[in-house]
Amino acid sequence: MPLDHTAKGVYVIATTPFLDDYAIDTKSIDRLTDFYAEAGSTGMTILGIMGEAPKLEATESIAIVKQVVGRTKLPVIVGVSAPGFAAMRSLARQSMDLGAAGVMIAPPSNLRTDDQIKNYYASAIEAIGDDIPFVIQDYPLTLTVVMTHGVIRDIVNAHSSCIMLKHEDWPGLEKITSLRKFQSAGEMRDISILCGNGGLFIDFEMERGADGAMTGYAFTDALADIVRLQAEGRRDEAHDLFDAHLPLIRYEQQQGVGLAARKYVLQKRGLITSDIQRKPAGTLSPKAREEIDYLLTRVAKHDPRAAL
Amino acid sequence: MPLDHTAKGVYVIATTPFLDDYAIDTKSIDRLTDFYAEAGSTGMTILGIMGEAPKLEATESIAIVKQVVGRTKLPVIVGVSAPGFAAMRSLARQSMDLGAAGVMIAPPSNLRTDDQIKNYYASAIEAIGDDIPFVIQDYPLTLTVVMTHGVIRDIVNAHSSCIMLKHEDWPGLEKITSLRKFQSAGEMRDISILCGNGGLFIDFEMERGADGAMTGYAFTDALADIVRLQAEGRRDEAHDLFDAHLPLIRYEQQQGVGLAARKYVLQKRGLITSDIQRKPAGTLSPKAREEIDYLLTRVAKHDPRAAL
Amino acid sequence: MPLDHTAKGVYVIATTPFLDDYAIDTKSIDRLTDFYAEAGSTGMTILGIMGEAPKLEATESIAIVKQVVGRTKLPVIVGVSAPGFAAMRSLARQSMDLGAAGVMIAPPSNLRTDDQIKNYYASAIEAIGDDIPFVIQDYPLTLTVVMTHGVIRDIVNAHSSCIMLKHEDWPGLEKITSLRKFQSAGEMRDISILCGNGGLFIDFEMERGADGAMTGYAFTDALADIVRLQAEGRRDEAHDLFDAHLPLIRYEQQQGVGLAARKYVLQKRGLITSDIQRKPAGTLSPKAREEIDYLLTRVAKHDPRAAL
Amino acid sequence: MPLDHTAKGVYVIATTPFLDDYAIDTKSIDRLTDFYAEAGSTGMTILGIMGEAPKLEATESIAIVKQVVGRTKLPVIVGVSAPGFAAMRSLARQSMDLGAAGVMIAPPSNLRTDDQIKNYYASAIEAIGDDIPFVIQDYPLTLTVVMTHGVIRDIVNAHSSCIMLKHEDWPGLEKITSLRKFQSAGEMRDISILCGNGGLFIDFEMERGADGAMTGYAFTDALADIVRLQAEGRRDEAHDLFDAHLPLIRYEQQQGVGLAARKYVLQKRGLITSDIQRKPAGTLSPKAREEIDYLLTRVAKHDPRAAL
């Protein structure tokens, strides 16, 4: 079933597990995929930046799509960002044929002006076809491309297949408010807004009108609870749980070493066999691992799931 | 008394208060200066990025140096970063004549290679004179200049007047460890390391060997307590206090609107008359002010100083 | 007489000459100023990037404005770009009081989106006042800010005091065509377009609709002839003269060392006493000076003014 | 025969020709490949940035390598730059198996410090194997990575398989001189230096010690003559021919539209069937085509090969 603008909850950014010889760890993919559903995810996003997509060969990417889509009942979004449209089209169409629910497209980092960004999405949609639901990835901290709310509105309105924003602007609370105002004023079609940045602002993002999270924080279950509590209007409880996890969320959100921290925790949780990444990759020093262990002990005082 | 490498504690990054007509608010400068000392600061840093230094005219900058140095017994570091060395020299020498303890120099954002960075500092010190204690500001997130620990070591060793690092790399925990290893191996002169980034990692930075903080988080008093607790080896207590403030620290650390949040809290604390900034400036929406108020209420459960 | 949109010809970007001790060389300023008029310039632009403006103290900048405006009958545009609006306003208003014809404003390098650029100019004009004719400097290669023709149109239409574009986009021929189409379609007020980039494309820029050049190529006289020949419709003659100078124009257009090359030639022409720049500065190796000498010999075969 | 450090002359950066439906034009590949040899090239570089490599699918890249290597007797260098090492290794090893002479690797644009650049090349060589001769691509204008001559020396000395520099720094004359000094002082192994940037400085680059050109200027034959004349010490003749082509070289060197200009000329020369590029691509307006036609007429006065 293809994705539409009513998507909500937690679309987890799936990690790609490797074995110590850098081969793809298919057993851990199954285990992780099962866990994500049990943890309360409402969808999955694979082959994103944090999924080490640029480090995969084309055939590996397709194999992962096939495996995950075959394993889970959750809707699966596939990251198809690529330096060229030929590779993007190829991965997008094959993914949909395999049963993916939609694709995610990030802008290349050389785009600067509003028109460049809008033209890029127009060309991308022309390449992949306008029948594939797609997600805009708005992540200026890493991609260095800055999209105003007006640019996002124009892309949404120009392409009926645009059904979601991965909101990862930083800071970005006002952007959510502005986009929702466009919708309520009838100036923009309804879209789903799911937030990234490791969850660092998910407490308030939900209050600003986000539909949930799309990020890979190692406690997907806690993230799902925070999103659910906010959706139910239980503000204080949501913040209490969020605050308990914030020291670790913050630690995982460090550029460069964040993924190493995330994989370390996933490994401690027994979800992946090895925390190795393909190169180039940041690594954790023994001191950093000790820091994460200490943080887990502290989180566990409030959330027993962190007692590893 | 000039600054040396034994500096520790909290060197607060002082906000520059303005009146609603954008004139410098000298009364609030006195009030803030007094507060910073009472709050446990061991030093002050004025005319930094967060002090809106680039928005001041040359004569205003000098007037602020004069007022603050005349008001406080704390050592005062003056930010003298400038597009050219003539202006840098002028401000540095006048500041020292007025009684400043040292100066801080950030690299211009066009520097890329190791040699460019080292040459820049060599030229800057040639310009201001090698008799003025200076602080390296290492802030890649905003300045886009990336300094390795090896580059910092070379600058320290090349200039005996270099006595401190404002450590604001992100992430930067391993950098502190690397620099302290240089020192213990006798490969680098001793320097003071004070950390910025709004305090977002001050909990672990102290454990990695930092001497304290140099940042402007609106609860200078809490920051001083965290630094003191860590210096005394009271790890859990330090983290408890840090964690209580982290949701607000995180909120204040948003690029662009962070200073608006900080000034809003300082105004609520009665320390400055207006939270206005000179343009260009980020501003807080009513919703954002409500979010900060909510965060203050939550922080106040653990730290009564936040009950405003 | 204030500047208006009918400006044309060559507004030379004036070099700031220094003595070997880095003091401002006032005698050379007079000599250069006189030369620029004799060479056929129709205006002068002082305190630009190539005029080493960021390396001057505020009082030095004012002194230069005073001297140049007092010396020449040509209209003088003053570069007032500054990190903050207080300094920008101060220099702009003092310059106009001293008799300048207008000011030039470059966007700070952190601007990305269309709205950010338009808002910046709105704030700048609010700061300096809407009674001062101003020039937009569009120089993405150095400033890293990319302005579309639509953004320029919006700035022009929003501010009646905007009377000129210093066109320095690279490549930028189509931008001139697009802006002139806006004008002929009645979508943009008339403005003057003068081109920079050292003259590297002035041959075709004139054919695309530019009104002239605003650049500092050391042969102002040749540049004035090329612009004049094109204005008179003598295409082949203009290209012949341009082609003869192109090897040197290209050499002078190298980032970093271009100004050193330019000052070297100006010194050889007897127009400035020393070719020294304030730091930081690129320098010419003996081999580079030999290369320029060789190029001058070759240019001199077609243009005797290069026989030095 | 694998590439070594004695390579010299013109290694042409081959254009990838497409048909109007964006399919790869294999007939034109044969024609171009034959032409390049007849034009005096001593080698070919395929799948570079100007060869639109990022727009190809993996299978297309391999097919092109196979075709070109099978067609020509010239040594063929294959651009293998990729976002991840898995894809880089795969293309590199397959290319060598098919008979390529070596590979070219550009650094990813997020690298900043000297160590980051050196570590990147170490990881890349670990990935592809140290038995494949490789070329460093140093192209800061497009890649935004700045390598000092010291960094290049360290990479060369660390990897015996590094046998060539594609020198495309801008400006870069002093860098050639510095690298040759390293060699003569015994501080760096001998390498071949071939220069890019469309040939914009090839006149002086040869005099500084370059071994030739590696660029795709549409008059490969003229480029080969310039390089040969300089190698024979016929300085004035080399500059005469260079100067005749410089107006067109400069036009072709415009970022964004340069490739469109180059393909337009190649098409006019009858070497490729269509001048179309895969998206995203710059295009030529009718006015731009007229400008190129005019330039060709002017070049033809000195070099009859431009009379098309």
Mean pLDDT in each 10-residue stretch from start to end of chain C (308 residues)?
Answer: 93 98 97 98 96 93 98 98 93 98 96 96 98 97 94 98 96 96 98 97 98 98 98 98 98 92 98 95 95 98 97
CA dist., res. A161 & res. A5, Å (int): 10
> Which pLDDT score, from 0 to 100, does residue C160 have?
98
CB contact under 8 A, D243 and C298: yes
Task: Give, in order, the Cα–Cα distances in Å from D277 to each of A84, D24, D51.
Answer: 12, 10, 10
Domain boundaries, chain C: 9-238
At residue C34, what is the residue type?
Answer: D
Which of B204, B247, B256 lies closest to A291 in CB terms?
Answer: B204
Average pLDDT over all residues of chain B: 97
ipTM over 0.90: yes
Q: Which residue stretches of chain A are H helix?
A: 26-38, 58-71, 85-98, 114-128, 140-143, 149-158, 173-184, 202-208, 220-231, 235-252, 258-268, 286-300
pLDDT tens, D104-146?
999 999 999 999 999 999 999 999 999 999 999 999 999 999 9
D239 to C255: CB separation less than 8 angstroms, yes or no: no
Q: pLDDT at position B238, please?
A: 98
> Residue B2 contacts by C-beta under 8 Å, 6 or more apart in sequence?
B101, B102, B133
Tell me what pLDDT residue A299 has.
Answer: 98
CB–CB contact C177 D285 (8 Å): yes
A285 touches chain B (CB under 8 A): yes
Two structure tokens written together for D296: 């060709």
Q: Are strands D76-79 and D102-105 parallel, antiparallel or unpaired?
A: parallel
Single-letter amino acid code for the residue at A14: A
Q: Is the CB of residue A101 less than 8 Å from the CB of residue A76? A: yes
pLDDT, tens only, B66-96: 999 999 999 999 999 998 999 999 999 999 9
* Set of chain D residues whose Cβ sits within 8 Å of the Cβ of C257: 171, 174
Distance from CA of B238 to the nearest CA of C (A): 37
**Which CATH number describes the domain made up of B9-238?**
3.20.20.70
Neighbours of chain B (3+ CB pairs under 8 A): A, C, D
CA C235 to chain centre: 23
Selected for mutation to probe chain C from A110, A113, A119 (highest C CB count within 10 Å) is A113
Q: Smallest CA–CA separation between A247 and chain B, in Å?
A: 7
Nearest neighbour of A148 by CB, restricted to C113, C146, C147: C113
SS3 A298: helix
Q: What is the pLDDT of residue C170?
A: 86
Alpha helices, DSSP H, located in chain C: 26-38, 58-71, 85-97, 114-128, 140-143, 149-158, 173-184, 202-208, 220-231, 235-252, 258-268, 286-300
Q: What is the pLDDT of residue C129?
A: 98
In the Cβ-directed half-sphere of C153, how many Cα atoms lie within 13 Å?
A: 17
Residue-by-residue pLDDT tens, chain A, 308 positions = 789 999 999 999 999 999 999 999 999 999 999 999 999 999 999 999 899 999 999 999 999 999 999 999 999 999 999 989 999 999 999 999 999 999 999 999 999 999 999 999 999 999 999 999 999 999 999 999 999 999 999 999 999 999 999 999 988 999 999 999 999 999 999 999 999 999 999 999 999 999 999 999 999 999 999 999 999 999 999 999 999 999 999 999 998 899 999 999 999 999 999 999 998 888 999 999 999 999 999 999 999 999 99
Identity of the residue in C174, C246, C256 whose CB atom sits nearest the CB atom of D171: C256
DSSP class of residue B24?
A: B
Read off the pLDDT of each residue in D147-165 and give the average, rounded to a whole number.
98
Chain B: closest CA distance from residue A243 (Å): 7
For position A171, what pLDDT does the model report?
Answer: 87
- Residue C112, Cα to own-chain centre: how many angstroms? 23
The three state secondary structure string of D4-63 is CCCCCEEEEECCCCECCCCCECHHHHHHHHHHHHHCCCCEEEECCHHHCHHHCCHHHHHH
Q: Where are the beta strands (DSSP E) in B145-276?
A: 162-167, 192-195, 212-213
**Secondary structure class of B13 (helix, strand, coil):** strand
Decide if A212 contacts A26 (C-beta within 8 A).
no
Contact between B76 and B111 under an 8 Å Cβ cutoff? The reply is no
Cβ-Cβ contacts under 8 Å, A90 against chain D? 57
Burial of B130 from C-beta contacts in 10 A (0-12 / 13-18 / 19+) = exposed
Q: Which chains touch A (3 or more CB pairs under 8 A)?
A: B, C, D
Q: In whole angstroms, how far apart are CA B30 and each of A255, B14, B70? A: 39, 11, 10
Instruction: Give the residue on D whose Cα is nearest the Cα of B150.
Output: D115
- How confident is the model at residue A289, as a pLDDT? 98
B83 to C54: CB separation less than 8 angstroms, yes or no:
yes
Tell me how far apart the alpha carbons of residues D175 and D165 are, in angstroms, rounded to a whole number. 11
Q: Is B285 on the interface with A (CB under 8 A)?
A: yes
Start-to-end C-alpha separation, chain C: 37
In this structure, what token pair is assigned to residue A166? 């991965």
- Cis bond upstream, residue C171 (ω within 30): yes
Q: Note whether C147 contacts A: Cβ–Cβ < 8 A.
A: yes
How close A141 gets to chain C, by Cα (Å)?
13
The predicted model scores a pTM of 0.96
Whether residue A23 lies within 8 A of chain D, CB to CB, comes out as no
> What is the predicted pLDDT for the residue at B208?
98
| Whole-angstrom distance, CA of residue B78 vs CA of residue B97 | 12
Are the CB atoms for C221 and C305 separated by under 8 Å?
yes
Separation CA C94–CA D240 (nearest Å): 50
3-class SS of residue A261: helix
**Which residues of chain A have a CB within 8 Å of the CB of B140?**
none
The predicted pLDDT at position A19 comes to 98
Q: Which amino acid is at B250?
A: R
CA–CA dist D277, D55 (Å, integer): 9
Confidence (pLDDT) at D47? 97
> Is the pLDDT at D1 greater than 80, yes or no?
no
B214 assigned binding-site residue: yes
SS3 for chain D is CCCCCCCCEEEEECCCCECCCCCECHHHHHHHHHHHHHCCCCEEEECCHHHCHHHCCHHHHHHHHHHHHHHCCCCEEEECCCCCHHHHHHHHHHHHHHCCCEEEECCCCCCCCHHHHHHHHHHHHHHHCCCCCEEEEECHHHHCCCCCHHHHHHHHHHCCCEEEEEECCCCCHHHHHHHHHHHHCCCCCCCEEEECHHHCCHHHHHHHCCCEECCCCCCHHHHHHHHHHHHCCCHHHHHHHHHHHHHHHHHHCCCCCHHHHHHHHHHHCCCCCCCCCCCCCCCCCHHHHHHHHHHHHHHHCCCHHHCC
Residue to test with chain D: of C180, C243, C295, most D Cβ within 10 A = C243
Number of neighbours of residue C217 by Cβ within 10 angstroms: 26
| Contact between B288 and A255 using a beta-carbon 8 Å cutoff | no
Q: Which residues contact residue A290 at a Cβ distance below 8 angstroms, ignoring those fewer than 6 apart?
A: none
| Sign of the four-CA dihedral A217, A221, A226, A230 | positive
So what's the pLDDT on residue B183? 98
- Residues of chain B contacting D147 with CB distance shorter than 8 Å: 113
Cβ–Cβ below 8 Å for D115 and B146? no
Residues 225-284 of chain D whose Cβ lies under 8 A from any Cβ of chain C: 239, 242-243, 246-247, 250, 254-258
- How far lies A258's CA from each of A223, B152, B221, D46, in Å? 17, 24, 30, 37
Place of tokens 């090893």: D93
Report yes or no: B122 at the C interface, CB cutoff 8 Å.
no
Return the closest-CA partner of residue B231 out of B213, B207, B249: B207
Option in A112, A147, A148 nearest C146 (CB) = A112
Interface membership of A187 toward C (CB under 8 Å): no
Mutant choice from A111, A114, A145 vs C, greatest count of C C-beta within 10 A? A114
CB contact under 8 A, B239 and A247: yes
Count interface pairs B-D at CB distance under 8 A: 23
Are D65 and D95 a contacting pair, CB within 8 Å?
A: yes
State the Cα–Cα distance between residues C260 and C256, nearest whole angstrom.
8
How far is C253 from chain D, CA to nearest CA, in Å?
Answer: 9
Inter-chain residue contact C254 with D298, CB threshold 8 Å: no
Residue B280: the pLDDT is 87
Q: Using CA atoms, how far apart are residues C234 and C240, in angstroms rounded to an integer?
A: 10
- Residue B171 pLDDT more than 90? no
CA–CA separation, D51 and D32 (whole Å): 13
Name the residue of chain D whose CA is nearest to A122's CA: D280
Give the integer Cα–Cα distance in Å for B208 and A287.
Answer: 9
Q: Quick one: CA torsion of A286, A288, A291, A292, rounded to 10 degrees?
A: -100
Integer Cα distance of D46 and D51 in angstroms: 6
Q: How do D43-46 and D9-13 pair as beta strands?
A: parallel
The three-point CA angle B124-C53-B82 to 5° equals 35
Contact D146 B114 (CB under 8 A): no
Contacts of A246 in chain B (CB under 8 A): 243, 246-247, 250
* Residue D255 confidence (pLDDT) above 90: no
pLDDT tens figures, B196-244: 999 999 999 999 999 999 999 999 999 999 999 999 999 999 999 999 9
